[in-house]
Amino acid sequence: MPKIAYLINQYPKVSHSFVRREIHAIEKCGLPVGRYAIRSCRAELVDEADQKELALTRTVLENGVATLLKSLTKAVLTRPHQVFQALKLAVKFGRRSDRGVLRHLIYLAEACVLNDWFEEDGIQHIHAHFGTNSTTVAMLCKALGGPTYSFTIHGPEEFDTIQALSIVEKVERSSFVATVSSFGKSQLYRWCDQSQWDKIKIIHCGVDRAFFTEATPVPAAPRIVCVGRLCEAKGQLLLIEAIKPIVAAGIPIKLVFVGDGSIRPQLEAMISEAGLEDHIEITGWASNEEVRKQILAARALVLPSFAEGLPVALMEALALHRPVISTYIAGIPELVIPNQCGWLVPSGSIADLTNAIKDAIALSPEVLAEMGQIGAERVARHHDAATEARKLAALFMEVIQQPVIETVLTEVQPTAVSIAQ
């Protein structure tokens, strides 16, 4: 049976549960998957499922510099021409990148380690998530004579730095590219030559069947939840400002942030300065089950993002029959239909965000339940992890079988010519 390598910069990771779901769904399609990461973030893992994945994952930088040097030396001695070609590629990409040439030379050494592992593990194709360093390493693996590769591009980072990340050339050298939304596909169309467009496929991030349960009653309590990494791009700082006039008007409200990240100290300072400690809570990272409980305990999920791909948190909330509040950016309008399964507001508009939150608090549980039902149906139709995995598995099999087909055609061609003669 063919075996696929999943390569991610950090895996498992708290905010990347969708990758774990995808891997499990691919395996249910009958394709074995090897887990590989460049570096570990084991210290922040809180979910038992992530802990299990950690035990299955081979992590390059946990093996020390000696392993990098050993694999690099072996590659130089056994395949000098391919190492030279990969070296030229690393230098070329490094000069474009803000990470520089030295970092890309390290990526080359990482690729040497991974190719040794791929050979040991019988890997026939690599799939990377995110078009950043994981895809760079996958591309260098191929340049060194390793397996073919594909990658999933999410955004927004890749779209913000298309040229610095050499995304166009990564697409050209890949077997195919998955995007998580039509918006993402359009951004690649914008930059890539039309000859590459057939490679670009929409494979949605998905929600597993555990989320597709019977609707639970929407709570009467005025509780709103925000799930995600605490960072500037997610717009959580705006939420503090949006909540202030609601509290000032004497309207009961509780906002819960589920997640952690770089702006947590700033959020905590803003909450304290505004005297909102009784109205806003930050839980930190939570397990999948805890996230589920927090969403079900809320009337709606809010995510006022400035930049996105297509947030999985929105899919999870809708699958759990809770409407969502988000912004008119990237792939979000492909999922959220305003006034049907939630609210969309102009990104950056505090007043519109405040009004949407007020609506979510004021509407009856019955109306919110109707919105949640529409949302759950949309997620089941477009974001079922099992369905999307079958599409991806078919693409993997097509790539793996292609060399076999080409070999057969090469062998058959002389016979066809002699018959014609």
Q: How far are the Cα atoms of 70, 140, 230, 372 from residue 40, in angstroms, in the given order?
A: 21, 21, 20, 37
Q: Is the pLDDT of residue 6 over 90?
A: yes
pLDDT of residue 131: 97
pLDDT of residue 1: 73
Give the domains, in start order, of the chain with CATH numbers: 4-206+384-412 (3.40.50.2000), 212-382 (3.40.50.2000)
pTM of the predicted structure, to 2 decimals: 0.92
Residue type (1 letter), 66: A
pLDDT of residue 403: 61
Burial of residue 94, with CB atoms counted within 10 A of its CB: 0-12 exposed, 13-18 middle, 19 or more buried:
buried
Q: Is the pLDDT of residue 47 over 60?
A: yes
Q: Which of 105, 125, 174 is nearest to 394 (CA)?
A: 125
State how beta strands 280-284 and 33-39 pair. Answer: unpaired
307, 233 Cβ separation under 8 angstroms: yes
Q: Is the pLDDT of residue 407 over 60?
A: no
> What is the per-residue pLDDT across 380-402, written as a single tens digit (0 to 9) for each?
999 999 999 999 999 999 999 97
Give the range among 41-45, 104-108, 256-260, 274-278 with minimum mean pLDDT.
41-45
Q: Is the pLDDT of residue 81 over 80?
A: yes
| Strand, coil or helix: 72 | helix
Q: Is the pLDDT of residue 240 over 90?
A: yes
Structural tokens at position 55: 């035990």
Give the range among 227-231, 274-278, 410-414 with minimum mean pLDDT.
410-414
Q: Is the pLDDT of residue 235 over 70?
A: yes
If one compares 405 and 222, the residue with the highest pLDDT of the two is: 222
Burial of residue 360, with CB atoms counted within 10 A of its CB: 0-12 exposed, 13-18 middle, 19 or more buried:
buried
